[in-house]
Amino acid sequence: MERSGTGYRRTARVLHWLVAIVVIATLPVGMLMLEESVPRETRDALFIFHKNVGVVILLLVLARLAYRAWRPPPPMPDHLPRWQVRIAGATHAGLYVLLLVMAVSGYVRVEAGNFPIELLDALGVPALVPVNETLETTAQAIHFWTRFLLVPLIVLHVGAALHHRFVLRDGVFARMWPPLGR
């Protein structure tokens, strides 16, 4: 069991890296599945992957937030300037918000459009939103545009993490790495 100040707890690390891997896979899949040049069967498989993994992302992000409320993250190291601590905090909050917006808008777009979400359908989970064209097109637009905020924020976040690891070498990266803790 880790103490505060030495890094994120094992559960937080596992959840962080699971979300990182699936989000980094889901973004290009979302774009590829809409490409006319990709064969129809491949696109259908990518659609099924994207929708269902997207729902899993939503659940994982909610699990992270719940865990974070129960076991708050370790305080930021003292050597970091105040402005960096603030930007890091804002970036992390932004990532959580944008992931929720992305996943919820994807869910609403599909359910309001009366399309299947195979995993939820198999589990017998009823649709939480009505079939409605206005709702569908609004959610579709939100789902389309959110990536233009999400992707730059991920690039900033990963860039900062790698800067800490390879340039500053100040132990900030090790707060989250390795994925399973020590």
Q: For the CB of residue 171, give the shortest distance to ligand HEM in the complex, in Å.
A: 9
User: Roughly what angle, to the nearest 10 degrees, separates helices 40-70 and 82-112?
Assistant: 130
C-beta atoms surrounding 167 within 10 Å = 8
Binding mask 142-181 for ligand HEM (x = CB under 6 A): -xx--x------x--xx--x----------xx-xx-----
Whether the ω angle into residue 179 lies within 30 degrees of 0, i.e. cis, is no
When binding is defined by CB under 6 A, the residue of 9, 13, 57, 112 that contacts ligand HEM is 57
Cis-peptide, bond into residue 152, ω within 30° of zero: no
Q: Does 15 help bind ligand HEM (rule: CB under 6 A)?
A: no
Residue 24 makes contact with ligand HEM by CB under 6 A: yes
Give Cα 171 to chain centroid, integer Å: 24
Specify whether the backbone of 36 is left (phi greater than 0), alpha (psi in -120 to 50) or beta.
Answer: alpha
The footprint of ligand HEM on this chain (CB under 6 A) covers a number of residues equal to 42
| Closest to ligand HEM by CB, 1 or 9 | 9
Residues 120-139 that bind ligand HEM (CB under 6 A): none
117 binds ligand HEM (CB under 6 A): yes
- Helix axis angle for 40-70 and 10-32, nearest 10°, is 150
3-state secondary structure (DSSP) of residue 55 = helix
Which residue in the set 4, 5, 6, 34 belongs to the binding site for ligand HEM (CB under 6 A)? Answer: 34
**CA–CA distance, 50 with 162 (Å, rounded to integer):** 28
Q: Which positions lie near ligand HEM, rule CB under 6 A? A: 16, 19-20, 23-24, 26-27, 30-31, 34, 50-51, 54-55, 57-58, 68, 73, 88, 92, 95-96, 99, 102-103, 106-107, 109-110, 117, 140, 143-144, 147, 154, 157-158, 161, 172-173, 175-176
